[in-house]
Amino acid sequence: MTITLADYLLYCDEPMHFWAKCSGKKAVVIADGMAEHRGDADGEARELAKKYLQTIQKKQYGHWNDLFNQTIALKGCTATIDGLFYDKATDSYDAFFLYMGTDAANYKHQVTFKKIVAEYRNTIRRCYVIHLNSAYRRDGKIEPEMLFRVTLADNYVSELQSDAREAIAAAIAIEQGAQKWFDKLTNDEMLPCGKPSECMYPDVCHPYLDDHKNRNPSPATIYDIPRISTQHRRELRAAGVIELSMLTDDEGLSEIQKRHIEVMRSRKPSIDLRAIAEFCGSVSYPLTFLDYEAVQFPVPLDGYQPYNSVPFQFSLHIIDEAGKEPRHIEYLCTDKNDDAEDLIKALLNKIPDRGSILTWNSSYEKGVHKTLAGAFPRYADALNALNNRVIDLAKCFSGLDYMHPAFKGKWSIKAVLPVIRGNDPYGKFKQAQHVSNGAEAVGAWWRIAGGKAGILQRGGIRNQLLAYCKQDTQSMVDIWLHLVNLVKQR
């Protein structure tokens, strides 16, 4: 076995996972609801980038013996170089790497690894990253020379090269079995990962967590402390701290982290009724609860920029007056080439022209409106006016106002709703293999829009998308009414 780029990144990110892979441990497959869409979208961008790379080669180098998509396997490592172009004057090569993101700095570890491997066989003069230009706004036909940027990556490589060589040597040693005896409790480099919910090897990293979960009530652990860094979790784990009851030192923790710990330890909620009352009093009727589902494309649709969030669906629950039952409005489009203008028209036609607009994590919905305003300037004033009315319902739970031990340090709508409502509709969706999160919504939408689903499947997928988005705004309604009742009862 040789060390691939994926192996190297796995070692750098989670050495324990790399060791488990090398030791033949069975990995848990982490579902990726957007995998099919992401693969297709990245593939389209990569094909354009390859053609652009060929244009650079012909214009600047002109050597027919230059190498494209060259795989190099030497000294225990293997890497693929997208372009190796010969410079006769210096008897060396310029290496080009394709990255389907917008910031070349995010690809620096990959470039460094590939350059080190390439240098086993060739003298590398310079390294370049071809990546998407975040400022490019499509206007008609795609212009590759505008869609892509070429960034010199030599500074990144120089900065990281020494550490990268050490990491490669360590990864090779692990792969060859030199460290299979490691003590995972004391070796800082081989501590369990910091995210049990996303762990590929839970039996290796967190064999004790099942016992914790099966206890009633299950004790809170260091993994329930919100916004804590991975490094801090590693330090606590290295000290043998797992349950919060074992935590004796809160140095380095913020006030909000300390308060969450207190709430989880006491098993009693902490609710600032005065703050909740102020929040409830800050809104005005009619109340509109808004949620979008949106898709991102590296190669943008006409009028958009790379990775803009283009909405394909919205759900509205509207309470016209206090005490009235909410009414529901929804919209869904499954045409992958749809530019969302019809969605804008439907939204502006249905949404009340006054009153507060409540969302969960308002930066997302506001961002969608800004994106649409950029793509359709004639609607910019109306969309910006919507943003002036947006209020973030999650604000009550992301700070100190409403804390509950059952939230386990989280404040997502999927963490809050089951505690307040007493049941979990999202969990029921998941059990029924129904769309149950945003990534799955994009994946399901792409099955229709990308032509992956058969005719008989499309109706069921549409129903799942509508039900999921409707549940998001219904969840906000339920949480809002809960807050209102708390204020009434105080």
Q: What is the pLDDT of residues 88-137, one digit of tens each?
A: 889 999 999 999 999 999 999 999 999 999 998 889 999 999 999 999 99
Q: What share of the chain in percent tops pLDDT 70?
A: 95
The CATH number of whichever domain residue 75 belongs to comes to 3.90.320.10
Residue 362 banded pLDDT, cuts 50, 70, 90: very high
Based on the domain organization, do 217 and 284 belong to the same domain?
A: no
| Phi, psi dihedral angles at 195 (to 5 degrees) | -130, 85
Q: What is the mean pLDDT of residues 388-416?
A: 96
Q: Would you say residue 195 lies in a domain?
A: no
What is the rounded average pLDDT of the residues 298-321? 98
Looking at the fold, whether 231 and 342 belong to one and the same domain comes out as no
For helices 455-489 and 413-421, give the axis angle rounded to 10 degrees. 60
Answer yes or no: is pLDDT of 247 > 60.
yes
The dihedrals phi and psi of 135, each to the nearest 5 degrees, come to -85, -10
Q: Is residue 395 part of a domain?
A: yes
Lowest mean pLDDT among 5-14, 186-195, 295-304: 186-195
The count of other CB atoms within 10 Å of the CB of residue 272 is 15
- Pair (289, 394) in one structural domain: yes
185: pLDDT confidence band, cut at 50, 70 and 90? very low
In a shared domain, residues 42 and 141: yes
Tell me the mean pLDDT in the region 293-307: 98
Residue 213's pLDDT band (cuts 50, 70, 90): low
Are residue 250 and residue 367 in the same domain, yes or no?
no
Q: Is residue 183 domain-resident?
A: no
Which of 218, 239, 266 delimits the end of a domain? 266
- Compute the mean pLDDT over every residue in the chain, rounded to the nearest whole number: 92
Residues 284 and 261 in one domain: no
Residue 368 lies in a domain: yes
pLDDT at residue 325, rounded to an integer: 96
Residues 397 and 251 in one domain: no
pLDDT of residue 210: 72
- Whole-prediction pTM: 0.93
| Confidence class for position 70, pLDDT limits 50, 70, 90 | confident
Residue that is last in its domain, among 123, 151, 175: 175
Residues 404 and 462 in one domain: yes
* One domain, residues 150 and 237: no
CATH number at residue 301: 3.30.420.10
Residues 260 and 274 in one domain: no
pLDDT at position 186 is 47
Is 190 among the domain residues? no
CB burial string 356-395: b at 16+ within 10 A, e below = bbbbbebebbbebbbbbbebbeebeebbeebbebbebbbb
pLDDT at 38: 96
In a domain, 197, yes or no: no
Read off the pLDDT band of 345 (50, 70, 90): very high
Q: Does residue 143 fall inside a structural domain?
A: yes
At 129 the pLDDT is 98
Mean pLDDT of 5-34: 91
Summarised one tens digit per residue, pLDDT across range 377-397 is: 999 999 999 999 999 999 999
Domains held by the chain: number: 3
Same domain, 381 and 478: yes
Find the domain containing 162 and state its range.
5-175
What is the torsional sign of CA 193, 199, 201, 203?
positive
Q: 301 in a domain, yes or no? A: yes
The residues near 278 (Cβ < 8 Å, ≥ 6 apart) are: none
The total of other beta-carbon atoms located within 10 Å of residue 342's CB is 12
Do residues 145 and 215 share a domain? no
Looking at residue 183, its pLDDT comes to 52
